A = this chain, B = another copy of it.
Amino acid sequence: MNNFTPYDTYLNQHLDESIAELSTLCAQPSISAQNLGMEEGAQLVAQMLTKRGFQARVMPTGGAPVVYGEMAGANREKTLLFYNHYDVQPPEPLDLWESPPFEPVQRDGRLYARGVSDDKGHIVSRLFALDALLAQDGELPCNVKFIIEGEEEVGSVHLPAFVEAHQAMLAADACIWEFGGVNHEEIPMQFAGLRGICYVELSVETASIDAHSGLGGSIFPNAAWRLVWALNSLKGSDERIRIPGYYDNVLPPSERDLKYLAALPDPAEEYRSRYGIKEFLKGLSGGVALKQAEIFEPTCTICGLTAGYQGPGSKTVLPARASAKVDFRLVPQQTPEEVLAKLRAHLDAEGFSDVEITFLGGGPPARTDPEHPFIQLVVNTAEAVYGVPMQIIPLSGGSGPNYPFVHVLGLPVATAGLGHPGSQAHAPNENIRLDLYEKHARHMVRVLKTFAAG
């Protein structure tokens, strides 16, 4: 396709309308972690599909509903499936927002709102691309399906079973994932896979009530100490995860993976300045070694600690309860089931049978071959829009429920999106750049046209 087509003209002329629709969607809170506005959010998304001619349904899952929609296109032999989610992160801390999180507002070429980037902007910009195709051609170039879930921000707990149970409905030839965007050099990124995740809460209870620390310090078990020792048994300051067998199923990156990594920009300086990090772990300073460690090493991350008194000053309390949130990122071929079993066995063996494990969600890693024709199609169609093809990242450090799409539905899954390094997803002042919003829609038009013709 040429650099500027009638579709692009349409998108350029109707940008304000699409942003208005996106603003309406963002004004509706749909916070899965707080079970706030989920039904309303789902209905609103279903209406947006229906009014374009989709057969759309709000479907129960056991948790927040899934919105499903499908529309036939000119080439009835080809089906593209979009995976998105309508739930958003909690907006807290509210005092750090420059404008209220559920009152979308434009400033300096950006639109600010909770969920505007993750993931409502992706939903609406994709619908915007379909609008351009429908306006110009009177129909879509191929069949299009949307699966838009409401639990992505809380671990997609019910999604794998939903996909498993609706394989015929979801049957397609390829899938576009919910997210993507440009890096700090404005180059669009293609993540050809996601790490898995096993997110647990570890909790200990040593007494029925807290005690005075003057009383029990040397004779009462202390839940906070038990937790510290249990955590310490998981990983030492050498960063080696001590759970026996944890690395057994870790596949090292292939030569080709390393070649892709070598082609990516060095993130070291960006990380240092963005996060105020003085030194990376394990003596890493940048280059392929840093990128390889970031993506291809499994992790054991403490995401949160809580016990006893946490206010200002001192309170002499001996805590009866303590807990930690711990996130294991999994690389091929690790699975959450395997990690849970090995974690339990390890804690028991180390004398921490009193430490309870609560599985809070997760799934295995999944990858699509970066040289799969569909990945190449998405990568190459980007060039007309962004001036360069997408840069391939062989595996994302992040996670998502792509496993059932890759391994149950058997689809190649490509990423693409409108994010940018300052999007502040999951943080206050989440935003999208309107130029990237329009570019993503232009890219999606090209993906659909090329895919339908292929």
Contact = CB atoms under 8 A, between A and B. Distances in A.
Interface string A291-331: 00110011111111111111111111111101011010100
Interface stretch (A70-78, A138-146, A213-221, A371-379): A213-221
A207 interface: yes
A319 B302 CA distance: 8
B307 A302 contact: yes
A52 B236 CA distance: 64
Contacts of A284: 219
Contact of A232 (B208, B228, B299, B308): B228
A413 interface: no
A383 to B, nearest CB: 27
A213 B200 CA distance: 13
Nearest to A354: B278
Given A213-B299, A214-B399, A33 B221 contact: no
B220 A275 contact: yes
Interface residues of A, number: 85
Given A220-B275, A361-B314, A301 B397 contact: no
A276 interface: yes
Given A237-B229, A275-B207, A222 B301 contact: yes
Contacts of A276: 207-209, 320
Contacts of A215: 294, 397-398
Interface of A: 33, 90, 154-155, 195, 197, 199, 206-209, 211-222, 224-229, 231-232, 235-237, 239, 271, 274-277, 279-282, 284, 290, 293-294, 297-320, 322, 324-325, 327, 329, 351, 360-361, 396-399, 426
30 contacts: A33-B311, A154-B314, A155-B313, A208-B276, A214-B397, A215-B294, A217-B299, A217-B301, A217-B327, A217-B397, A218-B299, A218-B329, A219-B290, A219-B294, A220-B275, A221-B277, A225-B301, A228-B305, A229-B232, A229-B236, A275-B320, A302-B307, A303-B308, A303-B315, A305-B305, A306-B306, A306-B310, A310-B325, A314-B360, A314-B361
Given A197-B214, A225-B302, 8 more contacts: A90-B311, A197-B316, A199-B314, A214-B399, A215-B294, A219-B293, A229-B236, A303-B314
